[in-house]
Each structure stands twice: as C-alpha cells, then as structure tokens.
Structure 1
Amino acid sequence: MKSIFKILSLGLISVSSPSFAQQTSTSEKLWQGKQAAVVLTYDDALNVHLDNVIPALEASGLKGTFYLSAFFDGSKNRLEDWKKAGEFGHELGNHTLYHPCDASLPGRTWVSPDNDLHKYTTAQILKEIRMTNVFLESLDGQKERTFAYTCGDTATGEGSFMEEIKDDFVASRGVRGALNSIGNINLLNVDSYGINGETGEELIQLVKEAQEKNALITFLFHGVGGEHDLNVSLEAHQILLDYLEENKDTIWTTTMLEAAKHVKEHQD
C-alpha cells in the first residue's frame, strides 16, 4: 500500500513540476530573459533633460525616451543637442507641436485659450502631431516612433483621437499610474507612473513591484533637478539609475519604442 502511495506521489510530482517549470520559463522570456522591463520617459524637452539626465543615463549605460513638444524653447533652441541624443540611442518621441491640453477639466486654469485641446478639431491635432513627426525625423532620421498624450488627454472637442493616430505610432503613452502586464497592455494608452517628489527608495520600490509581478513599468518624469513644477531631485533620480545599472541581469531598461515592439511580438 505504501509503495502504491509512493508511486502515486511521484506521479503527481512528475505532472506538476513540468507545469511550474513551464510557467517560470515562459515568464522569464517575456522581457528579454529578465524579470521586468523599465522605461524611463521624460516630457516637454526641458534643458535639464539634456544637461542632467542624458549625462547620467550615459554614465549608467542606460537609454531613455524623451517626448519633445517641437515649439518649446528646449526643443527649438537645442536642435544639435537633441540630434546627439538620438545618435546616442535615446528615443525622441512625439509630444505634439504646441502641447495643447483640455482646459475644460478641473485644475486646468493655466491652459491658454489657443492651447485648449477641448476647442481643437480632431483634424487640428492630427496635423500638429504629424508635423511633429516630420520635425523629429529631421533630428534622428527615424520613421518608427511613439507618442505621449499631453496632460494625458486623449480627446478634442470632437471626441477621442486615439484610434486616429494608431497607425502613426508603435505605441502611445498615457498617465494612469499602473504596471503593464503582457496580455493586458493597451498600446494605444500605455500606463505610466507620473513622478513628483518621490525619493530614490520609493522609485526603487516601484521597480521591485514590477520585478515581482513580471511586468513593464514606465516612469513619467518632467523636471529632474528643477525647471518644472513636477520635479524629482537629482539624488532620487540617480539612486534609481544606480539600482537599474546594478541589476541589469534581472531588469531590462529600454526605450518605449523597443518595449512596445517587444510587447506587440509577445502579446500577439
């Protein structure tokens, strides 16, 4: 009787073990063999991105995604610097020409009337977005690109334009703070964590959660060491970069474009 129980037990082990191993193997393959993917994005073409962020990324051997609004001073006054950023392998993403936002929403009194997305037609925003793609191509020569919704807004006064731009971009980044898991990632509105005042330890904790859940985490930075009301300190930003560099064996830090292409391949 004991021998029969032993055989049955071994049988159960032989059935369950491959299943667990298969799940582990599948999850490990999701992010280039790593536990998680991290995308560092920086909005609004700020001078601190060129002066503070890119040197720090280069020193750590990491790449970032920079969403440029073409009319902003930080874009048009530093064209050669952005060209160099593209040559270094950083992604130059589309953040529209004039950065319109929906002034009809709460807390948007700062939006000027001529930049009120709620008063735009869909044709207007499409022209602005596509012209920005031309501007960006003149900097880096690239055809494939990703987009970031200004203020996270996805609609004009005529309604959503998300479907209208889906063929213009590999993916578009949103602003909802959540992790992205393969099988449930909406590439028309990829979730991201907007950062404002967090410590380096808090940023690392978000990455650790992504590692535990085998997920993609996208960070949305504005100011890094100043220049924007939404800001993270240089120290906190560097602590995050140090962690990502030290854990390259288990974390894939990449651009939004490369992450989105990877998601498309595995999610399909």
Structure 2
Amino acid sequence: MIKALLFFWLLLLSTAVVADANVAAVEESPSEPFTWPGGAQLAVSLSYDDALNSQLDNVIPALKKHNFKASFYIVPNSPVINARMAEWRATVKDGHELGNHSMYHPCRASLPNREWVPAHHDLDSYSVGQLVEELTLANTFLKAIDGKLERTYTVPCGDLLVDGQEYLSEISHLFTAIKGHGADKRFSPIIYPEGETGEELIDYIRNASSETLLVNIVFHGVGGDYLSVSSKAHAELLAFLANNRDSFYVDSYINLMKYAANKQ
C-alpha cells in the first residue's frame, strides 16, 4: 500500500504558513475550467529526492525514452554530487529541474524511527535563521551547477517545525514554489512510493480526485538505493503516462507551477 505519507493533506493543517511565492488559487469560471497544455485535466510531477546513483543510472534513461522532464531535489553534501557532477549538469541540459532539498537534509530526530538523524543535522536543534542560511547556501550551490535563479523546494522528511516553530513562512521568499504547500490545495497531493508495483502507482493516478489538478510523486531510489521502487514499476508508470498524454501532462515541478501561476 501507499505509505502513511501518501497524502500531505494532513500536513496542510499548516496552511497559515503557505509561502507567498507558491502559486495562488487559480481563478476560473465555469465556462473556462483549468486545463494543462494540450487540454489535459491532470498534471503529474515526477520528482526524485536526495541525489542517488540509481537516479542517474536508471531514472534518466527511462525519462529520456519518453521525453519526460522531471525534478531532482538534490542534497549538495551527497557524495554522488561530487563524484558525478558532470552527469548532474547534463540532466539540466536535458531539460530537467534541479530543486532545493537543503544542504544537509536536516530532519527531526525526536520523531519515531529517526535514529539515523545525526545530532548536527537534527532539526529540533536548529534555529529558523540557521535553516534560512542553509537553504540560501543550497540555492547558491545549485546556481553554480545550472546557472538558474528560480528554484523550488521539497521539505526534507516532511518536517515543518524548527525548534518547535513553523518555518515555511520564513523561507517563502527563496522559492518559486514549495512542493505540497501551495495556497491552492488542488496542486498539493503527494505520495512517496516505496515498494509499490507499477499498477499500484498507475491506480493512484487513475483514482485521483476529479478536483485534483496536480499529482506529485516523489521517488527516492529506483532499482536500487533506499526507499526504492523497482525499475520495472517505474517503467510501467512512465509507459502509462506516455500512452495517455492527452489525459496526463508531465513536466518539471517548476514548469508546472509557473504555468499554473500564469493561468490566474
């Protein structure tokens, strides 16, 4: 089954901290419903977190096969960044997005099953100012790779508190959008697959609410690494999306959010 983090609706109780930079509610009249390019009713954002070897080895070729553009939320201190920098630069030339996922992937060590969080990356011990500096530095690092000024952000571990305080409102100025935390909830559903079959991933898209405009699928490992799905399941999902382009529009998260903002 899709994991407990299947939907971020629970986290959307933090609506008061929604970033101003995120796409505002899309205004539409009954005679002019919101549609994506080509008339698609639902968009799919394919995202890949943490800068993993399996993403370069398995994901990039699979996306290229169908000419899909995706978002890679990299962590600069990952050894895979240093070892394979030329390949990450190539992903940008291929039209993919490099998104901000922080410098060090800090998470709250006090939550269950967080024994792996080192003390110096414990979000419970951070200050908001410290996190703002870290995310600003990550943006600078990403700019050095791709030369881009606009950036989106995916929250590490989905943790919204720093030392007991919400922080999204303090970082909104750094980003075009924050995944799962826009003012318009029709763009917010997120799943984090781990071990699902291709059919289960496809069913999630098929069963999306008719009110949903964007589904965010955030992968980690694909055919390797951790929190992974098989390359077969991933390939089946991409094939389904490719065979149904009239119904599902696939693009990088930043492109989708900029398109939505322009539709206001």
The answer to whether TM tops 0.5 is: yes
Q: Which has the larger radius of gyration?
A: 1
Instruction: Looking at secondary structure, tell me which structure has more helix per residue.
Output: 1
Displacement after TM superposition at 1:212 (Å): 4.4
Matched, 1:117 2:117: no
Q: Deviations over 1:57-94 (max 9, x none)?
A: 01111011000010011222211111100010000000
**Alpha-carbon distance between aligned partners in 1 of 2:83 and 2:216, rounded to the nearest angstrom:** 28
**Alpha-carbon distance between aligned partners in 2 of 1:159 and 1:75, rounded to the nearest angstrom:** 31
Amino acid in the other structure paired with 1:244: L
Residue identity (%): 39
Q: Deviations over 1:14-43 (max 9, x none)?
A: xxxxxxxx84x633x422221210000100
Query: Which one of 241, 245, 248 corresponds to residue 248 of structure 1?
Result: 245
Gaps of 5+ in 2: 1-28
Matched, 1:67 2:73: yes
Q: Deviations over 1:155-197 (max 9, x none)?
A: 211511101111111111249xxxx9x94357xxx43101011
| TM-score (normalizing by structure 1) | 0.82
**Alpha-carbon distance between aligned partners in 2 of 1:202 and 1:167, rounded to the nearest angstrom:** 36
**Alpha-carbon distance between aligned partners in 2 of 1:125 and 1:199, rounded to the nearest angstrom:** 36
Which aligned pairs between 1:215-254 and structure 2 lie closer than 5 A? Answer: 215-228=213-226, 230-254=227-251
| TM-score (normalizing by structure 2) | 0.83
Give the structure, 1 or 2, with the largest relative contact order (CA under 8 Å, sep 6 or more).
2
**Alpha-carbon distance between aligned partners in 2 of 1:170 and 1:68, rounded to the nearest angstrom:** 17
**Cα RMSD (Å):** 2.0
**Alpha-carbon distance between aligned partners in 1 of 2:189 and 2:41, rounded to the nearest angstrom:** 18
Structure 1's 77 and 88: CA in aligned 2 closer, same or farther, altered over 3 A? same
Matched, 1:31 2:28: no
Q: Quick check: 2:151–2:176 contact (8 Å CA) kept in 1?
A: yes
Matched, 1:97 2:99: no
Gaps of 5+ in 1: 1-21
Displacement after TM superposition at 1:205 (Å): 1.0
Q: Could you say what secondary structure the match of 1:232 adopts?
A: coil
Q: Deviations over 1:78-129 (max 9, x none)?
A: 1111110001000000011111100111221211111101100111111111
**Alpha-carbon distance between aligned partners in 2 of 1:201 and 1:213, rounded to the nearest angstrom:** 22
Amino acid in the other structure paired with 1:128: E
